[in-house]
Amino acid sequence: MISAEELRARSQGAMSLHIAFIGVVNGLFSALHRMGPASVAALAQETHLDAGYLQRWCDAAYAFSWLEKEGETYRLSEDGDLMRPEHPQSRMAAAVGTVLSAHMAERAAGLMRTGERPGEKVLAERETILPWFGAMLEHNFRRTFEEKIVPALPFFSEINARQGLAVDLGCGNGWYLRALLHQCAGLRGLGLDGFAENVRQATELAKAEGLGERLHFAEGDIHHFQLPEPADLIAMNRALHHVWEERGTLFTRLEQELRPGGALVIWEPAWPDDTQVLREPAYRGMAFQNLTEHVQGNHFLRPQEIADALAAAGLEPSIHPFGSDVVVLGRRRA
Ligand SMILES: C[S@@+](CC[C@H](N)C(=O)[O-])C[C@H]1O[C@@H](n2cnc3c(N)ncnc32)[C@H](O)[C@@H]1O
């Protein structure tokens, strides 16, 4: 049985990240990093935020050790510094993810009464969360891609040598193509997303990383787009489960968009065959997210069903597990 102390610790863990979220999305950790020790009045002047709210936030951030306090001035603690979105090892994704989870849990609780599944728009209901969605995913997955997935799959160095086009469908803020093009100097990139804010952020971030010439983004629907030339790689990262119902026609069309020897590269959470595995810490988040995906009209997929759908479209599938995630390649025959 969970002890009362353990339950309190869990509840305070959520509160701590809720307080961190408020600091992340209002630029408070970043402002205190620029300013050094600061009074509430000085912080209010720097950030143009309300001093009454800031006083309460500073007290709470001090209580949860995100801030240190001397007299009436506050400064970042070591943990608070790590909440800055600009920090190379930033932990802000945990704060954004926790508040997003609370929002989605509240929506699922109400929607369960009717069975309604309103779709992806539920993710966009909170104006403070929405702009951070792309950055959260980048913080969660970019390093795994650069440090584990690219080195483990020879396909990436192979297509670099072909100097062709890499496409990312449902590209979010475009981090995947940015990371890929830094490692593969021979490639050009094209990202597509249905959400204008993502395309705006992706374009800006590609320019900021010096990739503006080789990397472009466009707003569009995965089901209706035209590539300017056949692609060597078509990636879908955490996007396939959004369009799974139409996989048959989609994969058949994408097979035609690939150059011979090119591949469709699908990266998804790997829903386990044996649901006992969901108890393991690495899988618990997936079980929670599968409920919030239901709100959006989606569900997570088992690696073998992805591979079977690729094979049905004439592609040669191979399954590559990475912890609780999976990359499934579907290669067009050379
Ligand atoms: C979970 S996010 C993943 C984003 C990105 N691939 C990443 O890994 O950070 C799914 C993305 O797919 C996009 N998406 C979903 N359905 C789409 C569709 N039919 N056409 C274009 N984009 C779509 C969403 O806008 C969202 O950015």
What confidence tens digit (pLDDT) does each residue in 10-65 have?
999 999 999 999 999 999 999 999 999 999 999 999 999 999 999 999 999 999 99
- Ligand 1 within 6 A of CB of 111: no
The protein residue with its alpha carbon nearest to ligand 1, atom 16, reads: 242
User: Which amino acid, residue 278?
Assistant: L
For range 124-144, the mean pLDDT: 96
Q: How many CA atoms lie within 13 A of 109 on its CB side?
A: 6
For residue 155, with 0-12 CB atoms within 10 Å meaning exposed, 13-18 middle and 19 or more buried, which class applies?
buried
For range 120-132, the mean pLDDT: 94
User: Which amino acid, residue 110?
Assistant: G
Distance in Å, CA 219 to ligand 1 centroid: 11
Q: What is the CB neighbour count within 10 angstroms for residue 327?
A: 24
How does pLDDT run across 50-93, given as a tens digit for each residue? 999 999 999 999 999 999 999 999 999 999 999 999 999 999 99
The protein residue with its alpha carbon nearest to ligand 1, atom 4, reads: 172
Nearest to 255 by CA among 221, 230, 285, 281: 230
Band of residue 256 on the pLDDT scale cut at 50, 70, 90? very high
User: Which amino acid, residue 210?
Assistant: G
- Ligand 1 within 6 A of CB of 171: yes
Measured between alpha carbons, how far is 158 from 168 in angstroms, rounded to an integer?
18
The protein residue with its alpha carbon nearest to ligand 1, atom 24, reads: 170
- Ligand 1 within 6 A of CB of 221: yes
Q: Is 67 left (phi over 0), alpha (psi -120 to 50) or beta?
A: beta
For range 309-330, the mean pLDDT: 98
pTM of the predicted structure, to 2 decimals? 0.95
Joined together, the tokens standing for residue 116 give 């309604």
- Ligand 1 within 6 A of CB of 283: no
How does pLDDT run across 176-211, given as a tens digit for each residue? 999 999 999 999 999 999 999 999 999 999 999 999
Band of residue 334 on the pLDDT scale cut at 50, 70, 90? confident
Domains located in the chain, CATH noted: 4-92 (1.10.10.10), 130-331 (3.40.50.150)
- By most ligand atoms within 8 Å of CB, the mutation choice from 141, 197, 222 for ligand 1 is 222
DSSP bridge pairs for 68: 75
